[in-house]
């Protein structure tokens, strides 16, 4: 099966483990972590203090040497990377960490200009960009102030402006809104959101700020050095919206639907690709997320189209429920995105529903 590529992967974490200390005092703080972050995605990392969030974030930023596992960031593999390449990579990343080292002798805009100069931008251009970002972050009236004349939250926002002024493709932020009041926290998050949409940047942000959680595309939870959950929130909500309109799942609670959504994977198809082939054994259940598919039945004289299905349509459950072979072929008539549930997970989901038999009977009676 050919698939159109999913959004470009900007960060790939594979089996990453990490240790601090030497010999006797050597302690493992990260255990076999895996994570992929796509362009345009805001990932929020949560978890108790000491669970390894900052360590993972600094590894991704090339600020720490990879000890075990593999990391690819903005297309660059980090294992054995040269100092020069590491430096080049770091320049393409916007870092927002709590320790913001502003130059005390420079004004807010001059601090921001440090970043545009490193990126080779002329000062006239850099100044205009810097002022725009400072204004966006509510510092329009503090452009020529030196750090000592600014509040903690204002200094933090200058540091954020400096990290974002070059519109980096990847932004790593550790509690970026912790020191900020409600309004400026919102400004920062709105600006991050804008960068992800306009520049297809990816943001990985450690935060416990509930006001920020609703911007997340993905929420990753870490406990004791392990990623224990990784949910595409918006996608999960979309799947639940689709599922609850399907007769089979109509009585399911949000929790039950959420559990099913978690088990569904996204698959992309190009126009002409088959999702289901007539006469095959049923292995998967589908919900169409976007695009259109044709339903084709071959009764011996070649396939004939019987219908077209659009976003939100579900198909493939019948062969799973009955064990019959696929009764029709489903072919992508446009590029499409489908949510796919394996037979095992489908069976588990429907068996878990108390009135599933009634549902099933109703479904077949209505056909």
Ligand X SMILES: Nc1ncnc2c1ncn2[C@@H]1O[C@H](COP(=O)(O)OP(=O)(O)O)[C@@H](O)[C@H]1O
Report in angstroms how near the CB of residue 184 gets to ligand X at its nearest.
Answer: 23
Part in contact with ligand X (CB under 6 A); list of ranges 46-54, 136-144, 162-170, 342-350: 46-54
Asked if 271 contacts 331 with a C-beta cutoff of 8 angstroms, the reply is no
* Least Cβ distance, residue 21 to ligand X (angstroms): 6
Contact predicate 102/111, CB 8 Å: yes
Among 2, 5, 26, 49, interactor with ligand X by CB under 6 A: 49
The interface region with ligand X, picked from 44-52, 98-106, 154-162, 213-221 by CB under 6 A, is 44-52
First to last CA, the chain: 31
Residue 331 in contact with residue 293, Cβ under 8 Å? Answer: yes
| Helix and strand element counts for the chain (H, E) | 12, 18
Tell whether residue 363 is a contact of ligand X (CB under 6 A). no
Using the minimum distance from each CB to Mg ion, give the nearer residue, 50 or 77.
50
Tokens 């600006």 belong to residue: 191
Among 52, 147, 185, 316, binds ligand X (CB under 6 A): 52
Cα–Cα distance for residue pair 75/18, rounded to 1 Å = 22
> Which listed residue (43, 46, 55, 154) binds ligand X by CB under 6 A?
55
Q: What minimum distance in Å lies between the beta carbon of 49 and ligand X? A: 4
User: In the numeric block, which tokens belong to residue 171?
Assistant: 């932004």
20 binds, among ligand X, Mg ion, none (CB under 5 to 8 A by kind): ligand X
43 binds ligand X (CB under 6 A): no
CA distance 108 to 147: 7
- What does 19 interact with, of ligand X, Mg ion, none (CB < 5 to 8 A by kind)? none
Give backbone dihedrals phi and psi of 25, rounded to 5 degrees, phi first. -95, 10
Pick the closer one to ligand X by CB: 129 or 156: 156
Beta carbon nearer to ligand X, 18 or 162: 18
- 55 belongs to the binding site for Mg ion (CB under 5 A): no
Work out the number of other CB atoms within 10 angstroms of the CB of residue 40: 18
Residues 10-39 that bind ligand X (CB under 6 A): 20, 29
Residue range at the interface with Mg ion (CB under 5 A); choices 25-33, 53-61, 100-108, 234-242: 53-61
Contact positions with Mg ion (CB under 5 A) in 230-269: none
The three-state secondary structure class of 150 is: coil
Q: How many residues bind ligand X (CB under 6 A)?
A: 10
Distance of alpha carbon 50 from alpha carbon 30, whole angstroms: 10
> 51, 129, 313, 345: which one contacts ligand X (CB under 6 A)?
51
- Strand order through the sheet with 9-20: 27-38, 9-20, 68-73, 76-77
Residue of 43, 46, 54, 129 interacting with ligand X (CB under 6 A):
54
* Min CB(61)–ligand X separation in Å: 13
Does residue number 54 form part of the binding site for Mg ion (CB under 5 A)?
yes
Contacts (Cβ under 8 Å, ≥6 apart) of 212? 44, 177, 185, 189, 205
Nearest distance in Å: CB 206, Mg ion: 6
- 222 close to 52: Cβ distance less than 8 angstroms: yes
- Taking the C-alpha atoms of residue 266 and residue 7, their distance in angstroms, rounded to an integer, is 11
Interface with Mg ion by CB under 5 A: which residues?
Answer: 54
């Amino acid at each position: 099966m050919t698939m159109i590529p999913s959004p470009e992967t900007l960060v790939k974490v594979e089996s990453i483990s990490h240790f601090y200390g030497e010999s006797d005092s050597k302690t493992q703080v990260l255990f076999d972590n895996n994570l992929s972050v796509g362009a345009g995605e805001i990932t929020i990392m949560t978890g108790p203090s000491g669970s390894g969030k900052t360590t993972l974030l600094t590894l991704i930023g090339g600020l720490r040497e990879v000890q075990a596992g593999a990391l690819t960031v903005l297309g660059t593999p980090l294992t054995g990377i040269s100092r020069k390449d590491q430096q080049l990579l770091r320049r393409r990343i916007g870092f927002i960490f709590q320790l913001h080292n502003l130059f005390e002798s420079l004004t807010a805009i001059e601090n921001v200009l440090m970043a545009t100069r490193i990126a080779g931008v002329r000062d006239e251009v850099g100044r205009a960009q810097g002022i725009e970002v400072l204004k966006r972050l509510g510092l329009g009236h503090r452009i020529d102030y030196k750090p000592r004349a600014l509040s903690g939250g204002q200094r933090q926002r200058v540091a954020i402006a400096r990290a974002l002024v070059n519109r980096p493709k990847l932004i790593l932020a550790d509690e970026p809104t912790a020191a900020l009041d409600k309004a400026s926290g919102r400004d920062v998050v709105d600006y991050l959101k804008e960068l992800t949409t306009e520049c297809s940047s990816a943001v990985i942000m450690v935060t416990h700020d509930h006001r920020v959680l609703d911007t997340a595309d993905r929420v990753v939870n870490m406990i004791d050095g392990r990623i224990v959950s990784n949910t595409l929130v918006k996608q999960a909500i979309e799947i639940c919206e689709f599922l609850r309109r399907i007769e089979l799942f109509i009585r399911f609670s949000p929790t039950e639907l959420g559990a099913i959504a978690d088990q569904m994977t996204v698959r992309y198809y190009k126009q002409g690709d088959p999702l289901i082939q007539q006469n095959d054994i049923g292995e998967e259940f589908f919900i169409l997320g976007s695009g259109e598919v044709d339903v084709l039945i071959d009764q011996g004289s070649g396939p004939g189209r019987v219908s077209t299905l659009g976003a939100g349509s579900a198909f493939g459950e019948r062969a799973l429920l009955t064990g019959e072979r696929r009764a029709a072929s489903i072919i992508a008539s446009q590029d499409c995105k489908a949510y796919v549930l394996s037979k095992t997970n489908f069976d588990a989901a429907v068996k878990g529903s108390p009135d599933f038999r009634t549902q099933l009977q109703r479904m077949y009676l209505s056909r």
